[in-house]
Amino acid sequence: MSSSPSVITCKAAVAWGAGQPLVIEEVEVSPPQPQEIRIKVVATSLCGSDVAAWESQPIFPRIFGHEAAGIVESVGEGVTEFKEGDHVLTLFVGECKRCRHCTSNKSNMCRTLGLERSGLMHSDRKTRFSIRGNPVYHYCAVSSFSEYTVVHSGCAAKVSPKAPLEKICILSCGVAAGLGAAWNVADVSKGSNVAIFGLGTVGLSVAQGAKLRGASQVIGVDINPEKGEKAKDFGVDMYLNPKDYDEPIHEVIKRITDGGADYSFECAGDTRATTTALQSCCDGWGLTVTLGVPKAKPEITAHYGLLLTGRTLRGSMYGGWKPKSDIPSLVDKYMNKEIRVDEFVTHNLQLEDINKAFELMREGKCLRCVLHMPR
In a domain, 254, yes or no: yes
In a domain, 331, yes or no: no
Whether residues 121 and 254 fall in one domain: no
Q: Residue type at 351?
A: L
In a domain, 72, yes or no: yes
Q: Does residue 117 surpass a pLDDT of 70?
A: yes
Question: Once rounded to an integer, what is the mean pLDDT over residues 40-68?
Answer: 96
Q: Does residue 1 surpass a pLDDT of 70?
A: no
Each residue's pLDDT tens digit, 328-339: 999 999 999 999
Q: Does residue 242 surpass a pLDDT of 70?
A: yes
In a domain, 321, yes or no: no
Question: Once rounded to an integer, what is the mean pLDDT over residues 52-61?
Answer: 94
**H helix runs in the chain, sequence order:** 48-56, 165-168, 174-180, 201-212, 225-231, 249-256, 271-280, 304-308, 323-335, 354-362
Whether residues 108 and 137 fall in one domain: yes
pLDDT band at 3 (very low <50, low <70, confident <90, very high): low
CB 62 within 8 A of CB 13: no
**H helix runs in 88-240, sequence order:** 165-168, 174-180, 201-212, 225-231
Each residue's pLDDT tens digit, 267-315: 999 999 999 999 999 999 999 999 988 888 899 999 999 999 999 999 9
Whether residues 134 and 193 fall in one domain: no
Whether residues 144 and 55 fall in one domain: yes
Each residue's pLDDT tens digit, 141-191: 999 999 999 999 999 999 999 999 999 999 999 999 999 999 999 999 999
Each residue's pLDDT tens digit, 223-232: 999 999 899 9
Q: Does residue 128 surpass a pLDDT of 60?
A: yes
Task: Kindly report the CATH number assigned to the domain that includes residue 307.
Answer: 3.40.50.720
In a domain, 350, yes or no: yes
pLDDT band at 244 (very low <50, low <70, confident <90, very high): very high
Sign of the Cα pseudo-torsion (362, 211, 157, 350, in order): negative
Whether residues 144 and 187 fall in one domain: no
pLDDT band at 113 (very low <50, low <70, confident <90, very high): very high
Give the mean pLDDT of the chain: 96
Whether residues 27 and 97 fall in one domain: yes
The pLDDT value recorded for residue 11 is 98
Beta strands in the chain (DSSP E): 8-14, 23-29, 36-45, 67-75, 87-90, 129-131, 134-136, 148-152, 156-158, 193-197, 217-221, 238-240, 263-266, 287-290, 312-315, 345-350, 368-372
Model confidence, pTM: 0.96
Whether residues 50 and 165 fall in one domain: yes
The pLDDT value recorded for residue 312 is 98
The pLDDT value recorded for residue 280 is 98
User: What is the domain extent for residue 143?
Assistant: 8-172+341-372
Report how many domains make up the chain.
2
The pLDDT value recorded for residue 325 is 97
Whether residues 72 and 44 fall in one domain: yes
Whether residues 49 and 152 fall in one domain: yes
Whether residues 157 and 260 fall in one domain: no
Whether residues 303 and 225 fall in one domain: yes
Q: Does residue 122 surpass a pLDDT of 90?
A: yes
In a domain, 227, yes or no: yes
Whether residues 212 and 231 fall in one domain: yes
Question: Once rounded to an integer, what is the mean pLDDT over residues 74-84?
Answer: 97
CB 295 within 8 A of CB 55: yes
The pLDDT value recorded for residue 294 is 85
In a domain, 332, yes or no: no
In a domain, 2, yes or no: no
Task: Kindly report the CATH number assigned to the domain that includes residue 25.
Answer: 3.90.180.10
For the chain, give the percent of residues with pLDDT over 90: 95
